[in-house]
Amino acid sequence: MSSVMIEFDRMRKTFGGHVVLESIDLTIPQGEVAVVVGPSGSGKSTLLRCINGLEKISGGDLRVDGVSVLGPERDMRRIRLEAGMVFQQFNLFPHLTAIQNVMFGPIRARNQSKAEARDIAITLLEKVGLSHRMDHYPSQLSGGQQQRVAIARSLAVQPKIMLFDEPTSALDPELRQEVLRVMQTVAQEGMTMIVVTHEMGFAERVGSRLIFMDAGRVVHDGKPADVLANPPSDRMRDFLSHVH
Amino acid sequence: MNLDWTAAVAALPYLLQGLQLTVVIALVGLAGGVIVGILAGVGLAYGGRSARVVAQLYVAVIRGTPIVVQVMFVYFALPILLGIRIGATEAGIVTIVVNSGAYNAEIIRGALQSVPRGLPEAALSMGLPFRRVLAFVIAPVAYRHALPAMGNQVVNVVKDTSIFLVIGVGELTRRGQEIMAENFRAVEIWTTVAALYLILITVLAYSLRLYERKVRLP
């Protein structure tokens, strides 16, 4: 019996008059590794950004660990503590070293002591294979290293859910694997994850579920192996032929 | 032309007292101007509608009027309007705070808005309230962007204090003028006054440059 972590309930999102997401119904149980794919402009990133309130939803409801994103700001902050986010552009704090970046969440969001935060940060930097670079500033790290620090930074807040917004799209191909390997480790430890990506290999290897989006709707939703082996629509077959 | 530099040497103690007042007005003015500039700059960048309008109006009025008129207003008109008494030095300090605050506000707004959007988003997505995001992410990055322009402001503020001679503040320029009126040694006195400003501003500008280099990110 796994409990529901994220629940989209006929959720809509519009920008001005433009409909970006149309009546989304999705339930993500605990421990799920949902990989979201689809052409650009299909609304995948917006879907992710709605979960931790970086975008406000326009209709319906969206509950994260039982808390609605429509609630007061206090609720939103509670959701954000539980749903960590990893960005395409890493977004590491440039004025802080790698370890200070990872300590940031525990200290500033969780009000933990510096010593506690340091222990957490060292453990996580070891896990992402960067303990030897912990005193480097982001600009002194490669893209792959920056993204691994960013993953550690999110994990340090001890979320129940991790959201990945095209985490490897800004990276050169040879740097992607080191990031995907870290993500796989996190998935294997039982983290609930939603990953927006074009990495079909990752979807097949690590994903427990593949969600194909197009024009603001969830078009297919199933086991990655099944969906990839037998694309249920021409639209998806066409999409896959472009990303492979 | 016969120059008598002993007149300048004799005037030096009196001029240095003026320089001291110039430094005091400039430092207090700078500190106050930075505080006002931060408040107005944050208002411009993140304030609600009313805060933004107030800040915009403030900046427009100050930038749209000469500082001489501003100090005249503070020294002569404001006491009548508010029914208070105010000394010349105080009027000078108030003017420089209000004046430099407006220019700082624009610099600070620009610096705040130059911070890439992804940085505050990353901090917000960890559950920090916006106040903390501003204090611990946006401010430290924006502040480094603002430093070069603020260096210019330091220089401007020091030079602007000379304008307060019009209301009789005994700062460096005023004292130069007073001595001039006694001994008519224009070349010697004004050369000395100019040299004192130049030394002060060079030292300030250079220390700021060093500081800028010290806090620069790798």
Average pLDDT, chain B: 95
Confidence label for B2 from pLDDT (cuts 50, 70 and 90): confident
> Region B57-75: what's the mean pLDDT?
97
Give residue-wise pLDDT tens across range A3-15. Answer: 999 999 999 999 9
Q: What secondary structure does DSSP assign to B83-140, as a single string?
A: T----HHHHHHHHHHHHHHHHHHHHHHHHHHTS-THHHHHHHTTT--HHHHIIIIIHH
Which class is domain A4-92+161-243?
Answer: alpha beta
CA of B143: which chain A residue's CA is closest? Answer: A95
| Residues 6+ away with beta carbon under 8 Å from A33 | A187, A191, A192, A193, A195, A206, A207, A208, A209
Res A244 pLDDT > 70: no
| Pick from A77, A93, A139: CB nearest B129 | A77
Output the domain CATH number for residue B35: 1.10.3720.10
Task: Report the C-alpha gap between A173 and A231 in whole angstroms.
Answer: 25
**Distance in Å, alpha carbon of A216 to nearest chain B alpha carbon:** 23
Whether the pLDDT of residue A108 is over 80: the answer is: yes
Quote the CA–CA distance of A149 and A157 in Å, as a whole number: 13
Q: Where are the domains of chain A?
A: 4-92+161-243
**What is the pLDDT, as a whole number, of residue A60?**
96
- Chain segment A20-31, per-residue pLDDT in tens: 999 999 999 999
- Quote the number of domains for chain B: 1
Contact A85 B140 (CB under 8 A): no
Q: Would you state the pLDDT for residue B57?
A: 98
DSSP A12-53: EEEETTEEEEEEEEEEEETT-EEEEE--TTSSHHHHHHHHTT
Q: Mind telling me how many Å the CA of A2 is from chain B's nearest CA?
A: 25
* Mean pLDDT to the nearest integer, A63-68: 96
Q: What is the pLDDT of residue A1?
A: 43
Range of the domain at B138: 5-215
Q: Are the CB atoms for A191 and A213 separated by under 8 Å?
A: no
Q: Is A216 helix (H, G, I), strand (E, B) or coil?
A: coil
B129 touches chain A (CB under 8 A): yes
DSSP state for residue A6 in the 8-state scheme: E
pLDDT, tens only, A211-238: 999 999 999 999 999 999 989 899 999 9
Average pLDDT over residues B129-151: 95
Rounded to 5 degrees, φ, ψ at A213 are: -115, 145
- Predicted TM-score (pTM) of this structure: 0.91
| Residue B135 identity | A
What stretches of A16-149 adopt beta strand conformation (E)?
18-29, 33-37, 59-64, 67-68, 83-86
* Closest by Cα among A97, A202, A196, A84 to A146: A97
Is the CB of residue A121 less than 8 Å from the CB of residue A96?
no
Confidence of residue A76 (pLDDT cuts 50, 70, 90): very high
Higher pLDDT, B57 or A243: B57
CA proximity to B64, closest of B9, B6, B106, B18: B106
Residue B121 contacts A where some CB pair is shorter than 8 Å: yes
